[in-house]
Amino acid sequence: MVRQIQVSKRAAEMNYAIREVAVPAAQLAKQGKKLCMLNIGDPNKWDFETPGYFKAALRKAVDHTDNGYGDSEGNPEFRQAIVDREYEKHGVHIDYEKVFVTSGVGEAINILMGALVENGDEILLPGPGYPSYHQYVNFYGGTHKAYRLIEEEEWEPDIDMMRARITDRTKAIVVINPNNPTGAVFSEKILRQIGDLAAEYELPVISDEIYDKITDKPFFSMSRLPSDVSRIIFNGFSKVNLMPGWRVGYMYVMDEQGMLNQIVDGMKKQLRARICPNVPCQWAAQASLQGPQDYITDMNRRLHDRAEFSYERLNEIPGISTNRTEGAFYMFPKVELNGIWKTDKDFVMDLMKEEGVVLVHGSGFDPEFGQGHFRTITLPRIEILANAYDKLERFMIRHRA
């Protein structure tokens, strides 16, 4: 018998819900089941295309760079372009020396939590929220504590709960705005209240702003908070810039008080260990910041129309209700399980098997505040969404009869 090497507990317990549902979906596809994949926020899988001048810049970069290793913290010219773009968007001056290029925001989360979290530390996360955060907090021996996003108040954060869940082990507060999975865009008032709370307890704010230009309402960046709040801002090129497969992201640190000096040093050590981010893709991503941005207007127009259709259609289905999407390209409807399904994951799995519509169970975004929901995307054309929601309605009527 071949010896079995035991997997580490931290790896065995990882469970990234968005991709986990793709595993049974792939099995169904092999059996000939036709699927509508509404589980992954990849605009390029639908009718959104990387602008041509981005692609041309990448081809040129491959031909004109030496294709060797680059700077561990990111190409200097690219980092300066990020500084310039953040000033253009938000009117803020950020320190070039504290801008770090990563392989998507996913690597930024990993690197930050690797530098920040020790065994027993706690990180406040939005519930529901993007699952990579609690996965990496747990991976490094920490504990994620969720604060509620209030569904009845357009998914605004519950500041009172946030305050109540701060302990002497709390290391940081995470904000995801525009929010994945709810599609909410938080108000400036509530974000400033979070900043005030962070300053009061001397906690840094980690703000994920990768959808910052995909909104139906004004967006307030946490980079605009007062200097007494230490911040780490995440952003990237997968969503707004339509380059999900290129894996280019960045983070920057705003920390005038020096609270995060040791964390920054720890992140730099990890950045050096991973060698460098993709060099040609950085040149192309820089071009995407400095060239025409009119494609974003067209993208937002199409997403708005599809989100409005989804809002109207989903609320017509028995047992389903949802808030409007204000940003990003997600919606987080509530489903009445009514004892028909024990969990929202059972609901999602049955829908997949019977109708071929692939959604993500809400509890995968937080077991406390995501349960009884599912996440869908608003990226497909309206006729595709209509077909999927017709199947969902048929499924709900059949099981509620």
Same domain, 82 and 134: yes
Burial label for 318, CB within 10 Å (0-12, 13-18, 19+), is: exposed
Q: Cα separations (Å) of 45 from 239, 245, 305, 330?
A: 12, 11, 18, 15
Q: Nearest CA to 342 among 319, 371, 364?
A: 371
Please work out, in degrees rounded to the nearest 5, the angle formed at the alpha carbon of residue 213 by the alpha carbons of 298 and 44.
55
Chain centroid offset of residue 167 CA:
26
Asked if residue 192 lies in contact with residue 178, where contact means CB atoms within 8 angstroms, the answer is: no
Length of the chain: 401
Same domain, 223 and 101: yes
Is a pLDDT exceeding 90 seen at residue 92? Answer: yes
DSSP string, 101-115: EESHHHHHHHHHHHH
* CATH number of the domain residue 210 falls in: 3.40.640.10
Characterize the bridge pairing of strands 249-254 and 231-236. antiparallel
Chain centroid offset of residue 314 CA:
23
Confidence label for 2 from pLDDT (cuts 50, 70 and 90): confident
Is there a domain that residue 2 lies in?
Answer: no
Q: Which domain holds residue 234?
A: 66-290
What 8-state DSSP symbol labels residue 95? -
Classify residue 328 as left (phi > 0), alpha (psi -120 to 50) or beta. left
Is a pLDDT exceeding 70 seen at residue 201? Answer: yes
Convert the pLDDT of each residue in 3-12 to its tens digit: 888 888 888 8
Helical ranges in 117-187 per DSSP H: 131-139, 159-164
What 311-315 contacts at long range (C-beta under 8 Å, 24+ apart), as own/partner pairs, is 313/385, 313/386, 313/389, 314/376, 314/389, 314/392
* pTM over the 0.75 mark: yes
Percent pLDDT > 90 in the chain is 89
Q: What is the mean pLDDT of residues 244-257?
A: 95
Is a pLDDT exceeding 90 seen at residue 64? Answer: no
Is there a domain that residue 1 lies in?
Answer: no
Same domain, 160 and 255: yes
Asked if residue 120 lies in contact with residue 141, where contact means CB atoms within 8 angstroms, the answer is: yes
The residue among 256, 273, 290 that closes a domain is 290
Same domain, 32 and 171: no
Same domain, 197 and 117: yes
Collapsing DSSP to helix, strand or coil, 26 comes out as helix
pLDDT at 401: 64
Is a pLDDT exceeding 90 seen at residue 215? Answer: yes
Same domain, 102 and 33: no
